[in-house]
Structure 1
Amino acid sequence: MLKSLFNWKVLLNLVVAIGVFVGLVWLTFRWLEYHTNHGQEIPVPNIVNKSVQEAIKILDDSGLDYEVDSFKYDPKYRPFQVLQVYPAPGSRVKDGRAIQLKVNPRTWARVEVPDVINKYSGLAFQRLEQVGLKVGDTIFEPSIQKDAVLRILYKGTAVKPKTKLPRFSVVDVVIGSGPLRNITIPNVVGLTVKEARAVIARSMFEVGLVEHEDGSKDESDIIYYQDPAAGDVRDQGMQMDLWASKRTPAELRAKIEELNSIYRMKVDTGLPPIQYQEMPVYQEQTDVPPPPSTTPKRETPTPSAEVQKTNTQKPAAKTTTSSVNDPSKPKTPSSTTTGTNTANKPAATTQKPSEKPKAKKIVVE
């Protein structure tokens, strides 16, 4: 077996196989060098702060490709000015390498209109300012959605949410001012359901219950009854209920009378009007002292000291008179009467306590 390994034919085949393998490896590396331009590098030119047109022309002359990307707008630089380059200027790259350019855009990037429809106006204004939009005019429009954003206008045209606008654009906001009062109900009897919807919407009301006689939902059915009735006054946004049928209102007179008995109240005007009277306001009485009596109270006089003194002095005066008189002469009737009257009239003295009795003068001859 060893002799067969060292046979010249085997050795020749082995050498040939090794040579073929080495040749294939050499050819592969040569092909790669040719295909990848190995050893051929080009320096990246300095194109920072140049305009994008000049930078593209320089890269084309150098045999380099390019990719242009907009950078965040900076008002300190010129529009379409190259701000960054990758790889950095001075780096060596192979021929055909793509160079990335960061360019200052012409203006601010567009922003999306936020979805603030039917939102409170105060929050909507803050959201618009956060994305970079400015609020111009505020327009108030009658609507049941008071203080809510109804539409957003850009140059007089309504824009939908997520519409892209230039940054710092001025938009007008339409806000609901509340419902209108005392609007006349339109007459939709005799119209189709589709036509009635349009009339109700123009009159700023809403369609409520729509009852079809046959249970279908055909918009071509004729309206034969409505509630509230035509001519009534309601506020904006109130609902109107409709009854529709394929027959005419004249053919549904019995049904209409039945609905009138339910939805139309009859007021009896023959009764006298109700009169309202104001009730007197009740005031709580406080304790009031009774008025003083006008009849003078009769008081019992008390004898004064002078009366008592006079009464005590009267017997002395009588004694003196009797002692002074002459016994030979008879007593004068006046003196006796006077003395008697004076002694027998205590009531008169008590009735006039303030008058002092006068002393009687007796003449002695």
Structure 2
Amino acid sequence: MLKSLFNWKVLLNLVVAIGVFVGLVWLTFRWLEYHTNHGQEIPVPNIVNKSVQEAIKILDDSGLEYEVDSFKYDPKYRPFQVLQVYPAPGSRVKDGRAIQLKVNPRTWARVEVPDVINKYSGLAFQRLEQVGLKVGDTLFEPSIQKDAVLRILFKGTPVKPKTKLPRFSVVDVVIGSGPMRNIAIPNVVGLTVKEARAVIARSMFEVGLVEHEDGSKDESDIIYYQDPASGDVRDQGMQIDLWASKKTPAELSAKIEQLNSVYRMKVDTGLPPIEYHEIPAHQEPVYEAPANIPAPAPKKETPKPAETKTEVPKTTTAKPGTSTTDTKPKPTTNTTTSNNKAATTAQKPAEKPKAKKVVVE
């Protein structure tokens, strides 16, 4: 078997096979070098701070491809200015290599308007600021939804939720200021249901129950009755019930009288008006005794027993021939004065002598 391996024919075939294999490998590498431009490199030009139009022209002349990506907007730079390049300028790349360009956009990125309609104004303002929108003017409009957002305006035009606006755009917000009071009810009797809806909406009311006589929902039916009646005053947002028919109100007089007995209350004006008297606060009631009941007799007070201890006043007797202790001279009075004093004392009732306590030693 070893002798057969060293046969010249076998060796020749083996050499030929090795030569073919080496030739295929060499051809493959040569083809790859030609296809990939092996050894041929191009330096990346410096296109930073240039406009995107200038940068694209320079890359085309250099035989390089490019990919433009929008960078975060920076107001310090010009719109469409190249801010970054990858690979960095000065790097050597092959012919046809794609160069990535980071370009400053024209303005801020667009954001969606959040759905804050019919939401509380305080929460709506926070949501608008979170997405990057600024609130400009706050407008108030009469509405039953007090302090709720009714509309969002951008440059005077209403915008719907999820509309895309540039970031940091200024929007105006319309907020409900509460319902208007004492608005006159419009007269819609004789109008069609469609016309009545428009009149009620313009008067800032809402359509309530709409009852058709034949059970249909034809908007061309004629209104022959409404509640509340025209001329009454109600607050904004109140509902107005309607009764419609294909007949005229004159043909439905009996039906109208029946509805009046239910929805129109008659007030009797012949009764005297009720008078109300205000009672002062904290007033004690006064009770009077009946005239036929005699007044109660006064109670007799029982005299208290005199105390046993009595006090004996000490008296001093003046000896004859001696002067009294009072050495002051007595004032002299006129006889008329003494007579007047005597008359005054005579007019006063006699006073009872007061009992004196006597202490016996």
**Higher deviation after alignment, 38-47 or 22-31:** 22-31
Cα deviation digits, residues 281-320 of structure 1 (max 9, x gap): 674589xxxxxx9xxx99xxxxx999xxxxxxxxxxxxxx
SS in 2 for 1:83: strand
Match of 2:356?
none
**Higher deviation after alignment, 5-14 or 94-103:** 5-14
Match of 2:203?
203
Say whether residues 1:45 and 2:55 are aligned partners: no
Cα deviation digits, residues 339-365 of structure 1 (max 9, x gap): xxxxxxxxxxxx9998xxxxxxxxxxx
SS in 1 for 2:100: strand
Percent sequence identity over aligned pairs? 90
**How far off its partner does 1:44 sit?**
1.9
Match of 1:62?
62
Match of 1:276?
276
**How far off its partner does 1:180 sit?**
0.4
- Flag structure 1 segments of 5+ consecutive residues without an equivalent: 287-292, 299-303, 307-350, 355-365
Write the letter of the residue equivalent to 2:148.
Answer: A
Match of 1:113?
113
Distance 1:24 1:211, change over 3 A: farther
Say whether residues 1:224 and 2:224 are aligned partners: yes
Matches within 5 A, 1:109-258: 109-258=109-258
CA distance in 1, matches of 2:202, 2:132: 36
CA distance in 1, matches of 2:266, 2:189: 21
Distance 1:259 1:24, change over 3 A: farther
**How far off its partner does 1:31 sit?**
4.2
SS in 1 for 2:173: strand
What's the TM-score, normalizing by structure 2? Answer: 0.70
CA distance in 2, matches of 1:129, 1:278: 57
SS in 1 for 2:146: coil
- Flag structure 2 segments of 5+ consecutive residues without an equivalent: 287-297, 304-310, 314-349, 354-361
Write the letter of the residue equivalent to 2:43.
Answer: P
CA distance in 2, matches of 1:115, 1:74: 28
**How far off its partner does 1:167 sit?**
3.0
**How far off its partner does 1:18 sit?**
7.4
Write the letter of the residue equivalent to 1:136.
Answer: G
Write the letter of the residue equivalent to 2:193.
Answer: V
- Structure having the larger proportion of residues in helix: 1
CA distance in 1, matches of 2:15, 2:153: 86
Match of 1:312?
none
**How far off its partner does 1:146 sit?**
0.9
**How far off its partner does 1:168 sit?**
2.8
SS in 1 for 2:127: helix
CA distance in 1, matches of 2:164, 2:76: 24
What's the TM-score, normalizing by structure 1? Answer: 0.69
Say whether residues 1:95 and 2:95 are aligned partners: yes
**How far off its partner does 1:273 sit?**
2.4
Cα deviation digits, residues 3-54 of structure 1 (max 9, x gap): 9999999998888887777666655554444333343332222222333233
Q: Which has the larger radius of gyration?
A: 1
Write the letter of the residue equivalent to 1:133.
Answer: L
**Higher deviation after alignment, 28-37 or 143-152:** 28-37
CA distance in 2, matches of 1:305, 1:5: 180
Say whether residues 1:85 and 2:82 are aligned partners: no
**How far off its partner does 1:117 sit?**
1.7
Q: What number of residue pairs does the alignment pair up?
A: 300
Distance 1:8 1:265, change over 3 A: farther
CA distance in 1, matches of 2:248, 2:210: 16
Distance 1:95 1:260, change over 3 A: same
**How far off its partner does 1:219 sit?**
1.5
Match of 2:320?
none
**How far off its partner does 1:230 sit?**
0.9
CA distance in 1, matches of 2:9, 2:234: 116
**How far off its partner does 1:232 sit?**
0.8
SS in 2 for 1:90: coil
Please tell me the root mean square deviation across aligned C-alpha atoms, in Å: 4.0
**How far off its partner does 1:144 sit?**
0.8
**Higher deviation after alignment, 125-134 or 173-182:** 125-134
**How far off its partner does 1:94 sit?**
2.2
Match of 2:36?
36
Match of 2:306?
none
CA distance in 2, matches of 1:145, 1:232: 23
**Higher deviation after alignment, 148-157 or 271-280:** 271-280
CA distance in 1, matches of 2:240, 2:144: 15
Write the letter of the residue equivalent to 1:222.
Answer: I
Distance 1:305 1:50, change over 3 A: closer
CA distance in 2, matches of 1:172, 1:131: 15
CA distance in 2, matches of 1:129, 1:106: 22
